[in-house]
Amino acid sequence: MQIVVDLHIHSPFSRATSKDMSFKSLERGAIVKGLDVLGTGDFTHPKWREEIRASLVGEEGGLYKLRESGRVRYVVSGEVCTTFDYKGRSRRIHHIILLPSMEVAEQLCPILERRGSLEGDGRPNLSMTGAELVEVVSDLGEGCVVIPAHIWTPWFSLLGDRGGVDRIEECYDDQTPHIYALETGLSSDPPMNWRVSALDRFTLVSNSDSHSASPWRIGREANILEVPRLSYKDVVETIMHRKEGVTTIEVDPAYGKYHWTGHRNCNVSVPPDEAIRLRGICPVCGKRMTKGVAERVEELADRKEGVIPKGAQRFIRLLPLSEVIATVLGRDIFSGEVQKRYWDVVGKFSNELEVLTKAPEERLVEVCGKEVAEMVLMNREGRLVISPGYDGVYGRPEETGRGGRQAEGRPADEEERFLRRTKNLDDYINESR
Ligand SMILES: [Zn+2]
Ligand SMILES: [Zn+2]
């Protein structure tokens, strides 16, 4: 069977997270998006664990669901940041942890607690090496997994320019054989990862890292898994050992907020070759630019662009429907007009992924109007052109010659401020229906 899975999200106990996060709103968002399995996020936080226990029940096969007849299944998941010194520099790296049950989570938390408080942030800071983390997690038994998170982002990632390392072994040391998968993050896609032959043996996974329960955030990147059964073991083993059964849903990497190198204050963004020519210095103010993922991949690449390694995974490239509508309307994705249109369209299909990947053209035109329908098809066929994100500013689809004001790229911290203000997802749905 085929299932759509997003394993990396956050709870209201993580920094800069929307207060609309509850299992009720997550369930609603996941159904609207078309997800079958969602990570719980933040299992390390004692209050969110309480919430998980209160809202979810375990079922046979190690997945959880809402107590009152839920449709979505949940995997116990969380993200931690490890800080350690390596070659005279401090490294700060994010890792996703997947666990087969809440009982195992209760065993792990006291061990992690010795390395840093679990109460301050849903994504706790721990003083330990990546190898130490993998060791304590895998010691808990089968199916307890660590996946390096958004491996290319400049901050807080395995291969990131600031605070990451150049080789996976430099983080995970003798525990590297226990790493099976890598999360590629929004700013990179599989072809970029294929440039580095050291990554060939890993399964590439994609998740949303969402800080909100809204369907224009959760599932924006996800995985389509071909599994024998709907169980925790099948989900995890497919990711660990059967990468041919994993197809990722990817936004265009240019949409990610760290794709190109740039300096936001000066409105400067440049592709990798130009960044190298400028030696990373902003041509406007002379300060150091934030190195984008495209340039970082170029640095570590040992293959030319376009090489497809043996066993390369399938992926599909899709921007969220909210982005498509925002582009057609020339409005911000959080504007009332975009939200209203979104709910109008999605309400007439089973879910957003159906609209994006399957709905026939005539039906799309009938429901969404000609312009949105056309752009949905361009999105499906990979014909959208994205002006690249940089230094924390999301990339945005370029307008395709029709009228309408172009919305600006949204700096991520502005978005975070917005998310903190957002109301319950149900209010949106009620208001816009
Ligand atoms: Zn992270
Ligand atoms: Zn500058």
Domains of the chain: 2-255 (3.20.20.140), 321-432 (no CATH)
What ligand is nearest to the CA atom of residue 290?
Answer: 2
Distance (Å) from CA 285 to ligand 2 centroid: 4
Distance (Å) from CA 270 to ligand 2 centroid: 12
What ligand is nearest to the CA atom of residue 123?
Answer: 1
Does this model's pTM top 0.85? My answer is: yes
Strands 56-58 and 89-99: unpaired
What ligand is nearest to the CA atom of residue 14?
Answer: 1
| Structure confidence at residue 60 (pLDDT) | 86
| Structure confidence at residue 411 (pLDDT) | 57
C-beta of residue 111 within 8 angstroms of C-beta of residue 181: no
Distance (Å) from CA 95 to ligand 1 centroid: 7
| Structure confidence at residue 362 (pLDDT) | 96
Q: What distance in Å separates the CA atoms of residue 410 and residue 174, rounded to the nearest whole number?
A: 41
Residues with CB under 5 A from ligand 2 (ion): 263, 266, 282, 284-285
Residue type, 178: H
| Structure confidence at residue 2 (pLDDT) | 97
Distance (Å) from CA 81 to ligand 1 centroid: 8
| Structure confidence at residue 17 (pLDDT) | 82
| Structure confidence at residue 11 (pLDDT) | 93
Q: How far is CA 81 from the centre of its chain?
A: 16
| Structure confidence at residue 207 (pLDDT) | 98
Q: What is the pLDDT along the chain (433 residues), one digit of tens a residue?
A: 999 999 999 999 998 787 778 999 999 999 999 999 999 999 999 999 999 999 999 998 899 999 987 899 999 999 999 999 999 999 999 999 999 999 999 999 999 999 999 999 999 999 999 999 999 999 999 999 999 999 999 989 999 999 999 999 999 999 999 999 999 999 999 999 999 999 999 999 999 999 888 888 999 999 999 999 999 999 999 999 999 999 999 999 999 999 999 999 999 999 999 999 999 999 999 999 999 999 999 999 999 999 999 999 999 999 999 999 999 999 988 889 999 999 999 999 999 999 999 999 999 999 999 999 999 999 999 999 999 999 999 998 886 544 333 444 555 555 555 544 444 344 433 333 3
Q: What distance in Å separates the CA atoms of residue 410 and residue 393, rounded to the nearest whole number?
A: 6
Q: What distance in Å separates the CA atoms of residue 354 and residue 119, rounded to the nearest whole number?
A: 39
Can you spell out the DSSP letters for 97-162? EEES-HHHHHHHHHHHHTTS-SSS-SS-EEES-HHHHHHHHHTT-TT-EEEE-STTSSBSSTT-TB
Q: Which letter, b or e, does each residue of 283-305 get, where b requires 16 or more Cβ atoms within 10 Å of its Cβ?
A: eeeeeebbbbbbbbbbeebeeee
User: Residue 263: CB partners within 8 Å, gap ≥ 6?
Assistant: 269, 282, 284, 285, 287, 289, 290, 391
Residue type, 407: A
Distance (Å) from CA 388 to ligand 1 centroid: 21
| Structure confidence at residue 404 (pLDDT) | 37
Distance (Å) from CA 266 to ligand 2 centroid: 4
Distance (Å) from CA 334 to ligand 1 centroid: 23
